[in-house]
Every structure is written in C-alpha cells, then in structure tokens.
Amino acid sequence: MSVKLNTRQVGDVTVIDVSGRITLGEGSSTLRDALRELVAKGNKKILLNLGEVSYIDSSGIGELVSGFTTVSNQGGTLKLLSLTKRVKDLLQITKLYTVFDVHEDEAHAVRSFA
Amino acid sequence: MELDSGAKEVLNHHYPSTLESVDLAEGEILKAAEETGFDEDDRHRIGMAVRECMVNAVVHGNRYNRNKQVHVTVLIGNFEAAPRFVIRITDQGEGFEVQEVPDPLHDTNLLRHSGRGLFLMGAFMDDMKVRKVAPTGTEVTLVRNIEPKES
C-alpha cells in the first residue's frame, strides 16, 4: 500500500494523517508535495500523524528531515505524532528522534504549538 | 567471507534497473528468509537492508540504465563456521569508496536529505561488506546470522 494523506485543521494547527508506506518514489514525493503546498499557503503549525505508517525507508526519513527544515525555514514548526515502534526505532538509530518534537497524544501535541 | 562446504543457493537472479525490481527482490528475499525461519522482526530488518541496498544499486549504481542489471544471490549455509543467511547484491555502476561516504550520525550531517542507506544496512544486518568488482560495479554482501531454534 502506497502512502495516503488526509489533512485536517485543529484550531490553528494543520494535522496530516499519514498512512501506508513512505518509501522512495510515490510515497516520499506525495509527502514532500503536501508539505510544500501547506508551507506555500502559509501554514506555520504542522503536526504529522505517523500512527498508521507501516514502513519508512531512508528516502522517507529524508523527506521528514526535508519537511522539518522547509517548515522551519519559513518560520513554522513541524512536529511528529504517534510513531510506531519501528518508526521510532529508525529515528533513534539515525539520531533524529531528538531533532523532532515527538508526541504521543494529539491534544497535547496541538497545545504544545501555542 | 569464506564459504564452507554445503551452502545452498536459494536465489540467483538478474533484475533490471528499475524501482519495481526493488520490490521484487525484497519480496523474493523475504520469502527465503521466512522459509529459513526468521521471525517477523528479523524479516523486517532484512527487508529494510535489502531495500536500501537495491535502491543504491538501481539509483546510484546503475542510474536506472536499462542496459545494466542488478545481480542478486542468496546463500544459506555455514560461513566462517557459523550458520548464516548471506545476500549479495551487485550492480554495474562506477563504484564508490565506502570511506568517502559521510557519516550520517555526525552533527553536521543529521539534517541532510540523503546518505543514510549504507548506515541502515549495517545497522540492520550482523555483517556487511562492500567491494568493487571488475570490470565495473559494486558488490554488497549482507549477512544475517541464523540463530539455533529453541527446542
């Protein structure tokens, strides 16, 4: 299953629910395009819900990092929500877990943008 | 890595330099891993390493060249006196020097978009070797130890 994105607004925070696989090709480019579009529209607070992401490769990790820097460079903030154990492990061994602000609870994550 | 007698070749295939080949090789190797008795977590790690290696071979090695192929073999047997699952993935690219690949864990490289593939292969396997092959290409050997099954 390729990646699927659903974007919704919770207050002034844009939540992107991501499901499927974020891998080289369609998966990573879909996420990249969505983040760039949101930033171009002026969205500054973006919460990426990865709870339904079954698989992510180094290309997908690259897109998370690129998204993080793209949003940050525009004065915004990108945070992560609900990592699966495998995605969390991957971010830990690549030393990226401490780079991202990671949350388990959506309401708490949304409040943290304030 | 020295091959002891009695190793069994369970896969020997040449794949075209396409992203579809990445999925195909991953699927074939995961099937062999399951038949070897690796559990789901082990298969996930093997699959991740294979995927990264195949992407490197297709994208960075052969550069999607339709005249170049990726050769994949899987051997199961005793290597250096221990049972191992050995995957070899060989491209026909120009090759590279492993020591010149930037360390993705270095502070200055953490936010780079790419460059984590080799590191992840090493992290997910028990051993990994990279060597240039003649006349041109890179051979990556990925090794996963086969643990004795509990009785």
Could you read off the pLDDT of A19-78 as tens digits, one per residue? 999 988 777 788 999 999 999 999 999 999 999 999 999 999 999 999 999 999 999 999
| Option in A25, A59, A99 nearest B110 (CB) | A99
For residue B114, the chain A residues in CB contact (below 8 A) are: 58-59, 62
pLDDT for res B7:
86
Residue B114 near chain A (CB below 8 Å): yes
Residue B42 near chain A (CB below 8 Å): no
Q: Residue A28: is it exposed, middle or buried by C-beta count within 10 angstroms (0-12/13-18/19+)? A: buried
Measure in Å the smallest separation between the Cα of B62 and chain A Cα atoms: 16
Positive or negative, the Cα torsion across A31, A32, A38, A39? positive
A4-10 vs A13-22, strand pairing mode? antiparallel
CB pairs under 8 A between A and B: 45
Rounded distance between C-alpha atoms, residue B151 and residue B146, angstroms: 15
**Higher local confidence (pLDDT), B3 or B27:** B27
Q: B19 vs A25: CB contact, 8 Å cut-off?
A: yes
Measure in Å the smallest separation between the Cα of B39 and chain A Cα atoms: 15
pLDDT at B149 > cutoff 80? no
pLDDT at B132 > cutoff 70? yes
Q: Chain A residue closest to B51 (CA)?
A: A57
Rounded distance between C-alpha atoms, residue A41 and residue B3, angstroms: 59
Residues B73-88 have pLDDT tens digits of 999 998 888 899 999 9
| Option in A62, A93, A96 nearest B113 (CB) | A62
Residue A99 near chain B (CB below 8 Å): yes
Residue B67 near chain A (CB below 8 Å): no
Q: Rounded mean pLDDT of chain A? A: 93
Residue B24 near chain A (CB below 8 Å): no
pLDDT at B45 > cutoff 90? yes
Rounded distance between C-alpha atoms, residue A7 and residue A15, angstroms: 6
Q: Chain A residue closest to B40 (CA)?
A: A86
Enter the ipTM. Answer: 0.87
| Option in B52, B105, B111 nearest A57 (CB) | B52
For residue A61, the chain B residues in CB contact (below 8 A) are: 116
- Predicted TM-score of the model (pTM): 0.90
pLDDT at B150 > cutoff 80? no
pLDDT for res A80:
97
| Placement of tokens 């690949």 in the chain | B101
Q: B111 vs A61: CB contact, 8 Å cut-off?
A: no
